[in-house]
Structure 1
Amino acid sequence: MMLIENKSKKLRKVPDHVVLSAGPNNRYWVVDVEERPGSKTLTISNHKSLQTTETCLLKDGWEMSPVLCGDVIHLEGCSNNGSWIVDREQGFLVLHPDTLISGTSIASGIRCMRRAVLGDMFKAPQWQISGHNCHHHRTFRHRDNVWSPRFGLKGKIDLTAQVSIQRPRNTSLRTSEMKTVPLELKTGKESNSIEHRSQTGNMHPVVAGHMDRRELVKLRNTLVHHIHNSLEKKDNKSNLCRLPEIVSNRQTCQYCPQRRNCALYERVVDGDSEHLQEGVIRDFLDQETGHVTAPHLKYFSHWLLLCFLEATTMEAKNGRKNVWLLSPEEGEKQGSCVGNLQLSGSVVTQSDGVYLHRFRRGCVSSQGPAVGLASGDRVVLSDQEGRFVGLATGYVREVSTASVSCTLDRSQQTSKTSYEEGSLSKDYTLIVGMPGTGKTTTICTLVRILHACGFSVLLTSYTHSAVDNILLKLKRFRVGFLRLGQGQKLVVATTCMGIKHPIFSRRKFDFCIVDEASQISQPICLGPLFYAKRFVLVGDHQQLPPIVQNHEARSLGMDESLFKRLERNSEAVVQLNVQYRMNRQIMSLSNSLMYEGRLECGSERTACAQVTLPFLLSVQSDLSFHSKSHPQHDLTWIQEALLPDNAVCFWTVQWLVPALESVEQGGVSNQTEAEVVHLLVSLLIKAGCKPSDIGIIAPYRQQLKSISGLLQSSAFIGVEVNTVDKYQGRDKSVIVLSFVRSTTEEGNLGELLKDWRRLNVAITRAKHKLLMVGSASTLRRYEPVEKLLTHLQQENMISFYQKLHLHHAVCD
């Protein structure tokens, strides 16, 4: 999907995110399009400078391909000194090949292209079908991924099975033959429909005949053109584009799964057009959308536009195409890939469809891990040569210098009031849980109460970890729950995206509880609410908001969650303001920054809690000895940092030493701050702090990589280095926060440190000690950090850092 603005003009600049290349996986930028009767000539280039160009002649039906200036294409065939010909007998043109389209979507576009486009926009849930197999010996795998970046296709093989094939009866040999084959499962009576044949042709384009492949690629190009051009810009304002026309055939539309979406979209984009006065289409729209009021239609239109805007930015930033466009060596240089892996040990089955794999790196750099992978990152597994792309998908469990572990999808007081409000609400209740106030415990208790009263509960959240944390607490109280499955259970838990499961089409719950509701965008949050009579939203809009990467969508309100929208009804809001995480000094930061003093400590024990450092005296003795040996070194700031009484400390590094940021591989880092963080963590561990009790936060992944490179010693195993977003809902005894930004130049300083809510999350992850490192002069340009620094200065919590070479004297 992309935003178009008068694409008939020649685009002379290639965007940074576009990858162009030659060879079998070529990618060309369309510089110019010249149309003539019966043919179309493209001027193309695979160099970002566009100084070297080639030509491609389209004819024999290919001239109808909807190619525009600024499109990316892939060409199959032979080039004669930079001249390509694509006609009836030779060659293929694949439009936007890095957008992988499923064979099912292409097949659905044969009779109605509008249905295929809507199917990509509004994906329907997968229905579970039961049936019978015959001549079936053994099933090896199911739902195998098939990606073809050359043809821009993707799909899933329903079954890979060993089957028994009987020879014809008129042959002398009557023995059966065993073969391993891919199976495509279909329901209903036997059919030789064009949709089924086209789907299997897409799944194996090499086997299909040239004519079939040619027509299917043309169909795919038309579909991907409409998907990429779903938005247009007029007068600097984005609008939804028209889709292919509605087919005026009642028989075709009668069983279409996109009937209502089709009618809604037409009402939104062109509801008052003259062509809609035609009887059949007018009746169709009235039948499907007659119940939709004008405010509802306006809401739908607004959020559909926002979702499309966000999709354009997500598509531009999506690095999935690098899986097949970059070699493993190039990917490792960019920090997005790790190659030359060999499976180590046996595969461990963790749960149904989830398998733990451990890989050993064949060639290890002496400088430590050269990849930007971190625990929890989503990854794609492919073979080293790039022949088989997307063999499996999963998540990184652990990554080190020599190995990578992944879970893959295949083998290879106020609280009491909130409980009452939640269970007695007529329609909905909002529970505002400030940092450390026990939102998970509150949800667990609320579920227990509703369960004891005989109510059915649907429990959802945006992340699997949040759902599992609640279920682990419920398990201790022997509350029967279902993590998707049998319908008779009273408590069913899933993520908000998991509501596509077929079970929800048959079940209506008494209550739906949504955790992390302030982080979920409105369309996603609304999904599970349709399956319950009443709902409870739990969150805090002063913490992380929904992630929106498109600036225009954010300015139009896409980062407003349903939680924040409904919070305007104060009668439905319950506040959790008593926290049991942070001590008094750390809590004061959040109170000053966001909560205006409303946040309270739950007990004196919480307010006065300190970090435990059993060997602090020994470290202080080493520091004193070093001070006597090197009088020119001021160690006051280090000694103050380690004192348990000093729960909050900020060190500004820009005055006494060079501590400027650097930009490399598209990321921002600060080596001086990384060294300070390393020094502080080393001293804390030497003083007796457990590595697992220490967390390091930085707003930029490049800085996380720099810090991780300094923590390769076995002494640091257990220290967690991550971004603010990954720490949401979690805490550590000690948090070390690196702000990174330090520059003397005016200009663009980025958006991350301008976010009040992200800063609030960062400073409320520590229970006993919060150590911050940054450049005060640079950070005062950010309004949220400036307010934080003002509070720290008033409380005398700011120190200056002098660069010292203490690692051998103190840390070893």
Structure 2
Amino acid sequence: MLQLEELELLKKSLEGEAGPPVELFQKKVEASFSKTVLSRGMDNRYLVLAVNTVQNEEGNHEKHLIITASQSLEYKELCILRNDWCSLPVEPGDIIHLEGDCISDTWIIDEDFGYLILYPDILISGTSIASSIRCMRRAVLSETFRSCNPATRQMLIGTVLHEVFQKAISNSFAPEKLQEYAFQTIQEIKHLKEMYRLNLNQDEIKQEVEEYLPSFSKWAGDFMHKYISTDFPQMQLSLPSDGSNNNSTCNIEVINSLDIEESIWSPRFGLKGKIDVTVGVKIHRGYKTKYKIMPLELKTGKELNSVEHRSQLVLYTLLSQERRADPEAGLLLYLKTGHMYPVPAKHLDKRELLRLRNQMAFSLSNRISKSSVGKEKTNLAPLPQIIEEEQTCKYCSHVGNCALYSRAVEQQMDDSSVPIGMLPKIKEETQHLKLSHLEYFSLWCLMLTLESQSKDNKKNHQHIWLIPASEMEESGNCIGNLIRTERVKAVCDGQYLHNFQRKNGAMPITNLMAGDRVILSGEERTLFALSRGYVKEINMTSVTCLLDRNLSVLPESTLFRLDQEEKNCDIDTPLGNLSKLMENTRVSQKLRDLIIDFREPQFISYLSSVLPHDAKDTVACILKGLNKPQRQAMKKVLLSKDYTLIVGMPGTGKTTTICTLVRLRRYITSRNSQRRKFADPSPLHP
């Protein structure tokens, strides 16, 4: 359970984050949520028709929502929000999901019972929500500028350690086996590529990974494969179902591993995440034993047992409820020491974290604002308030984006409020930028945000949990009622070839074709988004897919559905590039000069400085077949110091020119590499 002071931190992080007061009004909602299916039950989706703040008999404020689950908007219900739920920034036209009891068409959500999930079809990762405890602004920036989180040495080592532990828990923790798993993992192509990119030495990484292996064995010796229950370490764990009077002292025995990197989408709570290890656990308390399936979260950094780490486990218990019974707790393991902590999921912990999730969903969904004075003008909305915590800001990976957004966007608003103590830090992070650079950032951040939020390009997976496969098949973007045939083949690490065929009847008419991205789910409600991949082959009787998970562990009778992963406007990369363009580096400065300040590109005078004289015949062979304009374009590119734009009408040979240029560049690079090799005969660093 989260400590009292940490719960206060959760509440503090929500204070001041609510949107402006919402008056009772009705607005058109059909256009905004035309794709949303309203329904009651497990996947209930309610539409908010009106919001009103009232004062009850005790003098406390309540927020009353008029809601409906009827597509015709005819049948209405009442939802009463009390206590801290009143700060929820809900407006007419919003879609919500309710957890609790409905009596006489009235829902009551208060501090002791029930939850309200705002925008439940926006699935937010548990990691992001946990990081919002200290700073909501950092969490929103992390979701907005996703590609700005560069991989580091620590991240690579953490990934390797996770994979080694996951292999061991499914097989053996014997020291020689751990050494073997470590060697195999480090030798994988994806990790070798990352080491090369980060300029890391393989032997050094292996040595650092091996330092953790004794702790792996220690953990297995403490919590697995004992003869009697009393041999396991005593721990303090009180489950909600145990009641408050029971003794919290128990022994925890990890029986087995049920899944690795289990990916779960929860449209019920608006969450998504990957659980490091899903384990079967026996809880021995006195003469009684209780079996639970729990999430096991692995941490490779300092043993903090922090509120963020334990909050992540609490959220994973909510995710787990999409697949199985409520685990009521999770396990937090620090791989450096082998110490494990049980984390119970109490109602108040889940309540505060879901409130944080709602605030984050609101900020992500309302990144655009319109002026209420005169003719409406579309602008970027302010982000959650900047905090004044030196330690938090000091180690924040988004401090640059935070300061940039504040100066370029928020400080241009009349109602902008920046903590005075943070103004010097904002100036320090952005003093290298001109006014034209800030305006460029603001404009393109607005353009990209509008593009991502446009109805035509918005990524939308709602149909997977709201619309049956039989109905989705009519659009041609889904195939349901599939069963797995033949054995699953491991093509390479993380890719598995699966064959499916229709259980009954022929394949429906479909738009799916080889190469299409797909999401595979079970027909059952508990099996959303089991795996992602693409179609390898499809015909009138079967479909073959290359997926990122091995589904052979599921029963052969499991019915599956394939949904086409809708093409969407992916702005992660351009937003990341926009952020990098504003960095205080020599390369970014040069790009700003060229792209924003329109400095003319520079060119060298003679080709002889690029092409060696003895390469004349080879170059002529490469250029063979190009016409005069294409050769002129090639020459201009080779002389360029900055950039060259190749312009031409369709069919004039632009693609041919670019392909030839790539061949020529490869040849020049190869020649230069050979020259350096002969000039410096010393052996290359491994």
1: CA distance, partners of 2:388 / 2:416: 12
User: Given residue 30 of structure 2, which amino acid in structure 1 is its aligned partner?
Assistant: V
Quick check: 1:55–1:82 contact (8 Å CA) kept in 2? yes
Displacement of 1:418 in angstroms is 5.1
Cα-to-partner distance string for 1:278-324 (whole Å, 9 max, x where unaligned): 54221011111111111211111111101110111258743411111
2: CA distance, partners of 1:346 / 1:392: 17
The equivalent residue for 1:633 is: none
- The equivalent position to 2:520 in structure 1, one of 357, 381, 386, is 381
The equivalent residue for 2:265 is: 147
Quick check: 2:25–2:51 contact (8 Å CA) kept in 1? no
- Alpha carbons of 1:350 and 1:54: their partners in 2 closer, same or farther (altered >3 Å)? same
Aligned counterparts, 1:522-537, within 5 A: none
Displacement of 1:71 in angstroms is 0.6
The equivalent residue for 2:106 is: 83
Displacement of 1:342 in angstroms is 0.9
The equivalent residue for 2:384 is: 244
Quick check: 1:58–1:85 contact (8 Å CA) kept in 2? yes
1: CA distance, partners of 2:78 / 2:283: 52
Quick check: 1:364–1:401 contact (8 Å CA) kept in 2? no
Quick check: 1:419–1:445 contact (8 Å CA) kept in 2? no
- Alpha carbons of 1:160 and 1:387: their partners in 2 closer, same or farther (altered >3 Å)? closer
- The equivalent position to 1:36 in structure 2, one of 54, 57, 78, is 54
Cα-to-partner distance string for 1:539-573 (whole Å, 9 max, x where unaligned): xxxxxxxxxxxxxxxxxxxxxxxxxxxxxxxxxxx
Matched, 1:27 2:50: no
Displacement of 1:349 in angstroms is 3.1
- The equivalent position to 1:363 in structure 2, one of 504, 512, 518, is 504
1: CA distance, partners of 2:432 / 2:83: 47
- Alpha carbons of 1:299 and 1:142: their partners in 2 closer, same or farther (altered >3 Å)? farther
- Alpha carbons of 1:82 and 1:233: their partners in 2 closer, same or farther (altered >3 Å)? same
- Alpha carbons of 1:417 and 1:453: their partners in 2 closer, same or farther (altered >3 Å)? farther
| Cα RMSD, aligned residues only | 3.4
Quick check: 1:12–1:31 contact (8 Å CA) kept in 2? no
SS in structure 2 at match of 1:307: helix
The equivalent residue for 2:666 is: 448
Displacement of 1:97 in angstroms is 0.4
- Alpha carbons of 1:392 and 1:314: their partners in 2 closer, same or farther (altered >3 Å)? farther
- The answer to which of 121-130 and 24-33 deviates more is 121-130
Aligned counterparts, 1:54-65, within 5 A: 54-65=77-88
Displacement of 1:111 in angstroms is 1.3
The equivalent residue for 1:231 is: 368
Quick check: 2:386–2:419 contact (8 Å CA) kept in 1? no
2: CA distance, partners of 1:145 / 1:371: 27
2: CA distance, partners of 1:224 / 1:323: 20
1: CA distance, partners of 2:530 / 2:313: 19
2: CA distance, partners of 1:346 / 1:416: 54
The equivalent residue for 2:644 is: 429
2: CA distance, partners of 1:331 / 1:392: 19
SS in structure 2 at match of 1:331: helix
2: CA distance, partners of 1:332 / 1:277: 51
Matched, 1:10 2:41: no
2: CA distance, partners of 1:274 / 1:11: 26
Cα-to-partner distance string for 1:692-726 (whole Å, 9 max, x where unaligned): xxxxxxxxxxxxxxxxxxxxxxxxxxxxxxxxxxx
Cα-to-partner distance string for 1:527-548 (whole Å, 9 max, x where unaligned): xxxxxxxxxxxxxxxxxxxxxx
For normalisation by structure 2, the TM-score amounts to 0.59
SS in structure 1 at match of 2:528: coil
- Alpha carbons of 1:324 and 1:10: their partners in 2 closer, same or farther (altered >3 Å)? same
- Alpha carbons of 1:142 and 1:385: their partners in 2 closer, same or farther (altered >3 Å)? closer
2: CA distance, partners of 1:407 / 1:120: 28
Quick check: 2:24–2:52 contact (8 Å CA) kept in 1? no
Displacement of 1:145 in angstroms is 1.3
Aligned counterparts, 1:326-405, within 5 A: 326-365=467-506, 369-405=508-544
1: CA distance, partners of 2:278 / 2:685: 33
- Alpha carbons of 1:70 and 1:274: their partners in 2 closer, same or farther (altered >3 Å)? closer
- Alpha carbons of 1:340 and 1:278: their partners in 2 closer, same or farther (altered >3 Å)? closer
Cα-to-partner distance string for 1:169-211 (whole Å, 9 max, x where unaligned): xx99xxxxx9996442323221121100111111112422211
User: Given residue 189 of structure 1, which amino acid in structure 2 is its aligned partner?
Assistant: K
2: CA distance, partners of 1:93 / 1:257: 31
Matched, 1:189 2:302: yes
- Alpha carbons of 1:108 and 1:277: their partners in 2 closer, same or farther (altered >3 Å)? closer
- The equivalent position to 1:255 in structure 2, one of 392, 395, 400, is 395
1: CA distance, partners of 2:490 / 2:42: 38
Quick check: 2:97–2:118 contact (8 Å CA) kept in 1? yes
2: CA distance, partners of 1:41 / 1:220: 21
2: CA distance, partners of 1:184 / 1:277: 37
The equivalent residue for 2:548 is: 409
Displacement of 1:337 in angstroms is 1.9
User: Given residue 230 of structure 1, which amino acid in structure 2 is its aligned partner?
Assistant: R
- Alpha carbons of 1:238 and 1:364: their partners in 2 closer, same or farther (altered >3 Å)? farther
SS in structure 2 at match of 1:196: helix
Matched, 1:270 2:270: no
In percent, how many aligned pairs have the same letter?
40
SS in structure 2 at match of 1:394: strand
- Alpha carbons of 1:67 and 1:276: their partners in 2 closer, same or farther (altered >3 Å)? closer
Displacement of 1:159 in angstroms is 4.3
Displacement of 1:56 in angstroms is 0.5
Displacement of 1:330 in angstroms is 2.2
SS in structure 2 at match of 1:69: coil
1: CA distance, partners of 2:536 / 2:479: 14
Aligned counterparts, 1:705-724, within 5 A: none
The equivalent residue for 1:689 is: none
2: CA distance, partners of 1:80 / 1:316: 40
User: Given residue 209 of structure 1, which amino acid in structure 2 is its aligned partner?
Assistant: K
- Alpha carbons of 1:166 and 1:324: their partners in 2 closer, same or farther (altered >3 Å)? closer
Displacement of 1:277 in angstroms is 7.3
2: CA distance, partners of 1:188 / 1:52: 53
2: CA distance, partners of 1:166 / 1:421: 73
Quick check: 2:294–2:317 contact (8 Å CA) kept in 1? no
Quick check: 1:422–1:446 contact (8 Å CA) kept in 2? no
Quick check: 1:12–1:50 contact (8 Å CA) kept in 2? no
Count residues with an aligned counterpart: 446
SS in structure 2 at match of 1:251: helix
- Alpha carbons of 1:277 and 1:102: their partners in 2 closer, same or farther (altered >3 Å)? closer
The equivalent residue for 1:312 is: 453
- Alpha carbons of 1:193 and 1:53: their partners in 2 closer, same or farther (altered >3 Å)? same
2: CA distance, partners of 1:429 / 1:83: 66
1: CA distance, partners of 2:126 / 2:151: 16
The equivalent residue for 1:303 is: 444
The equivalent residue for 1:619 is: none
Displacement of 1:260 in angstroms is 0.6
Quick check: 2:477–2:511 contact (8 Å CA) kept in 1? yes
Compare relative contact order (CA 8 Å, sep 6+) and give the higher one, 1 or 2.
2
Displacement of 1:453 in angstroms is 3.1
- The equivalent position to 1:122 in structure 2, one of 145, 164, 183, is 145
2: CA distance, partners of 1:30 / 1:166: 43
Q: Give 5+ residue unaligned stretches, structure 2.
A: 1-19, 56-60, 158-208, 221-255, 319-325, 329-344, 552-625, 675-683
Displacement of 1:404 in angstroms is 1.6
The equivalent residue for 1:290 is: 431
The equivalent residue for 1:216 is: 353
SS in structure 2 at match of 1:31: strand
Quick check: 2:95–2:118 contact (8 Å CA) kept in 1? yes
User: Given residue 354 of structure 2, which amino acid in structure 1 is its aligned partner?
Assistant: V
SS in structure 1 at match of 2:526: coil
The equivalent residue for 1:641 is: none
Displacement of 1:239 in angstroms is 0.5
Quick check: 2:514–2:536 contact (8 Å CA) kept in 1? yes
